[in-house]
Structure 1
Amino acid sequence: MQDVGRGSRWVIGASTVAMLGWGTVLPYQYAYAAETRGWGGAVAAIGASLFSVAALVAGPVGGRLADRFAPALVAVVAKLAAALAVGSLVLADTPTAYVLGMTAFGFAMAAAGPAQSVLLLGASEGADRRTMFAWLAAGQALGMGVGAFVAGYLVDLAAPDGLDVGFVAAAVGYLVSAGMMAVLPRERTQAAGSAGLARGRGEAGAAMRLVLRAPALRWTAVLTVALALAFYAQFDTGLPAYALTVLDVPARTVGLAAAVNCFVLIALQLAVVRWTAHRPAAPLLMAVGAIWLACWVALGVVASFPALAAVVLVGTFGVFALGETMYGPVLNPLVASLAPQGHLGATLGLFTGLQTGVSALGPLVAGLALSGGHGEGFVGLHVLISAVAIGAAWQVHRHLAAQRVPAAVEEQADESLQRA
């Protein structure tokens, strides 16, 4: 990380520590609610869905606060709230208490995201931002993967209190992360404006109206939703459920696939960023959609070849990670470059909310499709969503190209006038 400044390293490290704690809970929370506590799949799905709905609401709120107040302060308060919320799940002995705790945690966790992005953008120059977000994605994947791996030896889903160690670890992770953000080096992150980021006093509603007026941002919003639905909404619930119920692979194979996804992402992240450094964002996001479409097709086809199911599942999780290496580093800098003047935090918050919030549909779609025996329809739907993402990325590329042409013409005209 020699090319990453001290402030950026601190933000990335704080995010990694938080994900280290969350990784001890995420892979197990659905089975914990549905089976360990005996509350059933409906409560588990409602908890996961309200977590995501709360994140959808919190993203724009956190972004607005990051525009109005010091982003580091917003991140600290949100992470402290997240620690309190996830820690409270140790005491959640009823379905209602569990669902409320998950909802509060989803809100606090998402509220910290826009402030964290503003800090990272403010600590980097334009050419470095993909690298910064690549390190952020790699750190988050590493934290999540290590947390999940360690928790596999500590969590006991046969005991009612078997996930308490995960809840405590997540709370400690967010407390440490908040402490790191509280002592964040200030040399560059204080001056977001020096990096060309005018935060202003953005209003979430105003940011939404401005996004809807700008074709490139409007299509970027469609692209964000489609890519989130095509993979992230199903990574934790739908894909494992499909693997277990339709492909009939062992639970250990699902765990191996998740680990492969994590470590492929870490291994390839920076190499992919270097390769894509000078390539336009929209075609790269088209490639992400195409990669994920191919993965869904492979998962659908292999259902007819049970002997190959385990190998294809692990392989597709690795290929999904290739798309992730471009998604994270490219999307946030693209949104930041298109954000309306004075609404950076609110715009980032809106898109953070979209990415996280649409994941609320993941458990519901997977539950309805797979419990009804519609595995082919489940895969077909995600092939279609991936195709929508490709189309939306093409529209973003077309509108950005149209914006660049008048600017180039105007520049040529100015040069002609100067020569005259």
Structure 2
Amino acid sequence: MPVQSLVPRLPPAAWRILGADALSAVGTGLTLPFLMVYLHTVCGFAVEVAGSVLATFGLVSLVGNPLGGWLSDRCGPQRPLVAGLALSALGTAGWAVVSQPWHAFTAATIAALGISVCWPAQSALLASVVETHQRTSVFSVGHMTLNMGLGTGALIAALLVDPRQLGTFTLLYLLDAVTFLAAAGIVALGAPLSGAGSTRGPQEGAALRDRQSGYRHVVRDGVLVLLWLITALLVTAGFAQFHIAIPIVAVEAGVPAHRLGMIFAVNTIGVVVFQLVALRMVRSRRRTRVAMILAVLWAMCWCIVILAVRLPPGPLVLATLLTASAVFALGEVLLAPTLPALVNDIAPERLRGRYNGAHTLAYTVGFVVGPLLSASALGNGETVLLLVGLTSVCLATVPLIYVLERRLNPAVNLTPGRLAGSDISDDDPNVSTPAR
């Protein structure tokens, strides 16, 4: 199957946003793997101080995510996205001149605020510049290009960085700042990005009432609250653990440190390779059923890691962890076409920013709670107990997803795809989407 046949047709505005995001992801890939090393080894901060600096990202994001959603509804998502990217550039550049702990906390606060505002604003903007039937595609492609950018940045950094030379780290953080500024320019310059399905006319009164109620309207939406809970649980037991639990198991099993990169490379390559294939495979299927498969695959991943714990040290442990990483990637590619797209399909146009802000907050909560739980378990030598718990949490989301399915409008839950008895695909501009 030709690769170009897998790439969905999206409007130029969507590709412009995705391109900017991929560029900033290259910069993030340059620096993210080395931040702890930079703070502890190069800057000379104690591990506890460096860890506290990293924790600042999660704490600031608890404020930044709702703020980004609110700003997106107040003045449109394009302006908060540009402002967030500019703030991210400022904070990232600040890492290059860190010499005292308060410098690091200041840089972390500014960068975290910018990034946490960007996320809901970008999701709202992407959802608004495409037609309803294209949202599944645009979020899937966005997840793929994000991973491509992160992987590319990590490869470049591996060639440039030298832990013995401060100058190489300074270069990385300045390059990261430049990518954020370039992304801001791409989003800000050129034709204004306007929504394809914005709400006007008769709904203006409802828009005013909803804006006045703000997040109170959002938290009263039972479907969104259930989506939020499912997302928070999956992130806590999934994304938040992947870069913690698997490396710990690998190190305890005697896997050489330089082999750890292979585990993460398999995941990144898997996402890039499988994402567009998964997008085609989930067409015309219920998003909730796809999300159930995601939860089961992540549970399988942790079961495979448990197997690795039980194996004697040797090459078989690495092979088992590589398999677990690939299985995790298979589940990961099913997330973008389901939960983020659902959030934007149930969101009123006038509250799209707040809905995305709330949903993004579920990721932030998961990334804050997840490491705390794993640190407690691993610190007490309860590796297997942690892995069993992660497996159980993933499986526990399956009945919750089924409850969500019962509460969703079937037309909203169905992933756009080929119409029955027709050769028209969901990318065809003449296809109409069933009304909710």
Give secondary structure in 2 for the equivalent of 1:343: helix
CA distance in 1 between partners of 2:81 and 2:208 (Å): 17
Give secondary structure in 2 for the equivalent of 1:4: coil
CA distance in 2 between partners of 1:202 and 1:402 (Å): 28
Asked if 2 retains the 8 angstrom alpha-carbon contact of 1:47 and 1:98, the reply is yes
Find the counterpart in structure 1 of residue 240 from structure 2: 233
Give secondary structure in 2 for the equivalent of 1:26: helix
Find the counterpart in structure 2 of residue 380 from structure 1: 388
- Of 361-370 and 255-264, more deviation after overlay is shown by 361-370
Q: Which structure carries more helix by proportion? A: 1
Give secondary structure in 2 for the equivalent of 1:128: helix
Find the counterpart in structure 2 of residue 55 from structure 1: 61
- Is 2:296 the partner of 1:297? no
- Map 1:249-328 onto structure 2 (within 5 A): 249-305=255-311, 306-307=313-314, 308-328=316-336
Question: What is the root-mean-square deviation of aligned Cα atoms in Å?
Answer: 2.7
CA distance in 2 between partners of 1:131 and 1:364 (Å): 34
Find the counterpart in structure 1 of residue 194 from structure 2: 189
Letter in 2 for 1:83: A
- Of 353-362 and 52-61, more deviation after overlay is shown by 353-362
Asked if 1 retains the 8 angstrom alpha-carbon contact of 2:88 and 2:177, the reply is yes
Asked if 1 retains the 8 angstrom alpha-carbon contact of 2:300 and 2:327, the reply is no
Find the counterpart in structure 2 of residue 145 from structure 1: 151
Change (3 A) 1:48 1:329: farther
Equivalent of 1:219, from 218, 226, 232? 226
Asked if 1 retains the 8 angstrom alpha-carbon contact of 2:130 and 2:195, the reply is no
What's the CA shift for 1:348? 0.4
CA distance in 1 between partners of 2:209 and 2:187 (Å): 23
Gaps of 5+ in 2: 1-6, 413-436
Find the counterpart in structure 1 of residue 398 from structure 2: 390
CA distances 1:162-215 after superposition (whole Å, capped 9, x unpaired): 4222211211110110010012544x6345417999995698994543343333
Change (3 A) 1:92 1:82: same
Asked if 1 retains the 8 angstrom alpha-carbon contact of 2:24 and 2:149, the reply is yes
Asked if 2 retains the 8 angstrom alpha-carbon contact of 1:295 and 1:319, the reply is yes
Gaps of 5+ in 1: 405-420
Letter in 2 for 1:228: V
Find the counterpart in structure 2 of residue 342 from structure 1: 350
Change (3 A) 1:363 1:2: closer
What's the CA shift for 1:35? 3.6
Change (3 A) 1:125 1:393: same
Asked if 2 retains the 8 angstrom alpha-carbon contact of 1:133 and 1:329, the reply is yes
What's the CA shift for 1:55? 1.7
Equivalent of 2:185, from 163, 179, 189? 179
Change (3 A) 1:360 1:378: same
Asked if 2 retains the 8 angstrom alpha-carbon contact of 1:203 and 1:346, the reply is no
Letter in 2 for 1:210: H
Give secondary structure in 1 for the equivalent of 2:16: helix
CA distance in 2 between partners of 1:243 and 1:41 (Å): 21
Paired residue total: 403
Give secondary structure in 2 for the equivalent of 1:193: coil
What's the CA shift for 1:314? 1.4
- Of 144-153 and 102-111, more deviation after overlay is shown by 102-111
Change (3 A) 1:67 1:147: same
Asked if 2 retains the 8 angstrom alpha-carbon contact of 1:204 and 1:346, the reply is no
Find the counterpart in structure 2 of residue 368 from structure 1: 376
Letter in 1 for 2:24: A
Pick 1 or 2: higher relative contact order, CA cutoff 8 A, min separation 6.
1
CA distance in 1 between partners of 2:161 and 2:208 (Å): 44
CA distance in 2 between partners of 1:200 and 1:168 (Å): 42
Asked if 2 retains the 8 angstrom alpha-carbon contact of 1:14 and 1:177, the reply is yes
- Of 366-375 and 301-310, more deviation after overlay is shown by 366-375
Change (3 A) 1:403 1:328: closer
- Is 2:104 the partner of 1:104? no
Asked if 1 retains the 8 angstrom alpha-carbon contact of 2:199 and 2:349, the reply is no
- Of 357-366 and 374-383, more deviation after overlay is shown by 357-366
CA distance in 2 between partners of 1:342 and 1:136 (Å): 23
Give secondary structure in 2 for the equivalent of 1:282: helix
Letter in 1 for 2:94: S
Q: Percent identity, aligned pairs only?
A: 26
Asked if 2 retains the 8 angstrom alpha-carbon contact of 1:7 and 1:184, the reply is no
Asked if 2 retains the 8 angstrom alpha-carbon contact of 1:125 and 1:195, the reply is no
Change (3 A) 1:180 1:195: farther
